[in-house]
Amino acid sequence: MESYRGLWLKGAIIMALNMIEEGLTPVEIGLGERDFYIDLESETALSLQEAERFAQAKSHSFEIKDGVINSNGKQIIVQGDASPSGDPKYYKVLNISVHHPSAGVQLVRIRGVSFETKEQLEDYLQWLEKASETDHRIIGERMDLFSFHDESGPGLVLFHPKGQLIRNEMINYMREINDSMGYQEVYTSHVFRTVLWKISGHYEAYRDKMLIFQKDDDELGIKPMNCPAHILIYKSRVRSYRDLPLRFSEFGNVYRWEKKGELYGLLRTRGFTQDDGHIFLREDQIKEEIRKLVTKTLDVLGKFGFSGDDVRINLSTRPDESIGTDEQWDKATKSLLDVLKELGTPFVVKEKEGAFYGPKIDFDIRDSLNRWWQLSTIQVDFNLPERFKLEYVDENGNKRRPVIVHRAIYGSLDRMIAILLEHFRGKLPTWLAPVQIRVLPISEDNVEYANKVAEVLRENRVRTELDLTGDTLSKRIKRGYDDGVPYMLILGKKESSEEKVTVRARGNIEVRGVPLSRFVKEVLEEIKTRDVENSAIKRIQG
């Protein structure tokens, strides 16, 4: 699509000049990743039909001077990495949204494309539909999960109700995992004095990515990591060898100021939630703890369908820039290596790719599009205990230094959601789907029964929606499929009179005459066991 960028920019210019002729005020045009945009000063949003009026070929003479086009006393700023070229004749308006570049100014953003031939336009629309199946940003917009806004800042996500449902499900599951491993959940604030970051070393090593500011004669920083706060909780009491391993977990919100050009949907943001955990333990406990962590991590990844050849374990060793002594690094690295060897799971050694404070084990997974993603991480740390002078009292009453293990299984919750959306093409497993069931009454006559079915499902805490739009059944089924709803229940006269449902599941599966109670039982089982497959329909099909 790269070769069309000049054509799109030219199309945006023509469309903007068409608007000026009609008395509108476009102020800026430019290029997005896969389209052009026009920003229009306007108190109200435009409808798609209104915008389409301007999307047509017309010859205008114009000149771009210092990145600006002057026309009828109005100025349009021209952005974008291409020069306007060609003779665009075929246009398509793709999207209209509203944003506020500053207080008191509202801009309507029109996104579209333009081509020289009809074939080019049709090819593009086909390509876009295919891309939209596997781009989490487009899936997220379509499913109404999350958004980013110029006003709130790039890389700073807003999760909508349905996105938050997914987050909560992921968190609930991880809480169960954490409980099963003996973690105690904590909460720590988002902003700390920079003294803390100086002790931890982040101030020195991580400062570029931190948000640091001055307030009341004090310098403060927003946390890029949770570890130092967990360490302070450890230090709030005298700890005995009997207390160890001590495991803290937190769904911690951290902020890392990534470069604007590197931001990418939920895959790379400036603020995200980690399923973080820190284990304080004795040196003789390291191997056993790592063994448990590796085993449990593989279990969790398997739950999402990533197992066997689709998981790769990496052991990363000391990087050139690091803190800590040779002896500490050697000891830590050997523990990880021994565990992996003993478990017999294949792994790869990545020389010099460890964190600056310790060696680590990472887990990569391969998704349905054959791409590898790094997710889970387990990091041994001899350095932070040293910096914070951590202690426990051993069996002889002597003070000893514990070791810290940092771990995250999802890594970033936000990034994990992006990967899952792309991996499943928006068709999430039922337990994660924001809408689990959609009820489609065939006609007005079946609405009462539809309401009853929805009520039964909601009483069982199954996330259920009714589609009462009155569109044709096939249209409603297609919409349910596009929205990623795993099960649709089609209710007609026969179903209503017999208290049954016709189940429509993914993969074009339809089963008629299923007793409502049977369906509820099977779908609850599928949700409770967090099946990746739609096992309810398989059992119903028998």
Catalytic annotation, pick one of 406, 407, 476, 500: 406
Q: Smallest distance from the beta carbon of 231 to Zn ion, in angstroms?
A: 9
Pull the structure tokens for residue 111.
């996104």
Query: Is position 89 annotated as part of the catalytic site?
Result: no
Is position 406 annotated in a ligand binding site? yes
- Please pick, among 92, 360, 415, 463, the residue that the annotation labels catalytic: 360
Q: Which residues have a Cβ under 8 Å from the Cβ of 486 and sit 6 or more positions away? A: 427, 428, 429, 430, 433, 436, 437, 505, 506, 534
Distance CA 204, CA 468 (A): 59
The catalytically annotated residue of 256, 270, 438, 463 is 256
Closest approach, Cβ 517 to Zn ion, in A, equals 48
- What is the contact surface with Zn ion in residues (CB under 5 A)? 227, 406
Nearer to Zn ion, 196 or 442 (CB): 196
Whether 164 is catalytic is no
Report the nearest approach of Zn ion to the CB of residue 156 (Å).
22
Nearest distance from residue 430's CB to Zn ion, in Å?
33
How crowded is residue 43: how many other Cβ atoms within 10 Å of its Cβ? 6
Q: Is 60 a catalytic residue?
A: no
Which of 278, 407, 427, 500 is catalytic? The answer is: 278
Catalytic residue among 274, 328, 379, 436: 274
Specify whether 276 is catalytic.
Answer: yes
Amino acid in position 53: R
Which CB, 225 or 340, lies closer to Zn ion? 225
CB atoms near residue 222 (< 10 Å)? 18
| Nearest to Zn ion of 377, 464 (CB atom) | 377
359-362 LR contacts (CB < 8 Å, sep 24+): 359/315, 359/316, 359/317, 359/318, 359/329, 359/332, 359/333, 360/315, 360/316, 360/336, 361/290, 361/294, 361/313, 361/314, 361/315, 361/316, 361/336, 362/313, 362/314, 362/316
Q: Which positions ≥6 away from 176 have C-beta within 8 Å?
A: none
Residue 479 annotated in active site:
no
For residue 60, say whether it is annotated as part of any ligand binding site: no
Q: Which is nearer to Zn ion, 383 or 502 (CB)?
A: 383
Dist. CA 526–CA 190, nearest whole Å: 37
As measured in angstroms, the least distance from the Cβ of 15 to Zn ion is: 50
Answer whether 409's CB lies under 8 Å from 221's CB: no
**493 part of the active site:** no
- Is-catalytic flag, 74? no
Please say which residue, 134 or 188, places its beta carbon nearer to Zn ion.
188
- Distance from CA of residue 101 to its chain's centroid? 25
CB of 338 to Zn ion, least distance (A): 22
SS (H, E, C) 409-448: EEEEHHHHHHHHHHHCCCCCCCCCCCCCEEEEECCHHHHH
Catalytic residue selected from 227, 364, 367, 414:
227
| Identity of the amino acid at 438 | R
> Whose Cβ is closer to Zn ion: residue 31's or residue 361's?
361
Nearest to 266 by CA among 379, 365, 355, 167: 167
C-alpha R_g of the chain:
28
Q: Is position 227 annotated in a ligand binding site?
A: yes
Numbered residues of the known binding site for Zn(2+): 227, 278, 406
Q: Which residues are annotated as catalytic?
A: 227, 256, 274, 276, 278, 360, 406
